[in-house]
Amino acid sequence: MAQITAAMVKSLRDQTSAGMMDCKKALNETNGDMEAAIDWLRTKGIAKADKKAGRVAAEGLVAVALAPKTGAVVEVNSETDFVARNEGFQTAVKEVAGLAVTVNSSEELAETKTSTGETVTEYFATLVGKIGENMTFRRMQRLSVENGVVAGYIHNAAAENMGKIGVLVALESTGDVAKLEELGKKIAMHIAATNPLSLTVDDLDQDLVAKERAALKAEALESGKPEAIVDKMVEGRMVKFFKESVLMTQIFVMDGERSIEQVIADEAKALGTDIKMTSYVRMGVGDGIEKKDEDFAAEVAAAVAGS
């Protein structure tokens, strides 16, 4: 029996994207023959990942997991929305979201062991072989508070605590937990709808602010007004930009009257204690992923021509 080394297992994994334990088993079954091990994985339906990995996975699910004083949101991508409705895929996403509550970064979560004994990365590589479509864990974020709650909300839910958009809201307070969770969920729903750029004006990306200011000034100068007047026009429009883009100054969508800052202040007064919103996360499936335009008719024609 040939000695199976870690380097051999890694090489087979790199070539097939199969899970670590599957690669080790394949090498044992084939007495260390790399080509035979690849064939063994393919016959078992495990080595499909190498063919699928190049495909764009911009669909999938975002999932939220909550624990006392902490919460996490994860995104796992698939090629099609059909797979996102697959029970096996949803089970995997739910487990990974639960693990995310215990770690600090996407990199750490990717190497965290799942119930299968595989890391999260290996777990989804194995699922690729079983389901037959590219899928990958993409990212996670976790929020925590010293006192208070981390509330969550899922928009367009496909199953419990998972869907197309996930939001976390962190509220520091010694107030009633149930009331804080209710407030946090309402603010999370607002965030899902409005997609603010930042929590406060100070948190805004200053490059973005500079670009917005420059664009508004260029537009105002075309009016032919004196530069002093133009500067006043720009400042007025920037105030409007901040009010519409920054969460704390946005008008609460549920009543159309109060700012989010005022909503929090009113609830704090009702509870008789301070409430401070420290952070939030809004994560949407496929955010920032460039989707390839598919020509289905051309794809079918190509398949027919090649048959």
CATH no., domain 59-201+247-284: 3.30.479.20
Do the strands 70-78 and 275-284 form a parallel or antiparallel pair, or are they unpaired?
unpaired
**Superfamily the domain 6-47 falls into:** Ubiquitin-associated (UBA) domain (1.10.8.10)
CATH topology of domain 205-245: GTP Cyclohydrolase I; Chain A, domain 1 (1.10.286)
What's the pLDDT score for residue 300?
A: 45
What's the pLDDT score for residue 290?
A: 67
Positions of the chain with pLDDT under 70: 1, 17, 42-57, 290-307
Residue found by looking up tokens 């080394």 in the block: 5
- C-alpha to C-alpha distance for 232 and 243, rounded to whole angstroms: 17
C-alpha 175: how far from its chain's center?
A: 30
Sketch the domain layout of the chain as residue ranges: 6-47, 59-201+247-284, 205-245
Residue 64 in tokens: 């939220």
Sign of CA dihedral 65, 85, 127, 110: negative
What's the pLDDT score for residue 221?
A: 82
What's the pLDDT score for residue 299?
A: 46
What's the pLDDT score for residue 282?
A: 97
Q: What angle do CA 246, 151, 147 make, to 5 degrees?
A: 95
Contact status, residue 69 vs residue 38, Cβ threshold 8 Å = no
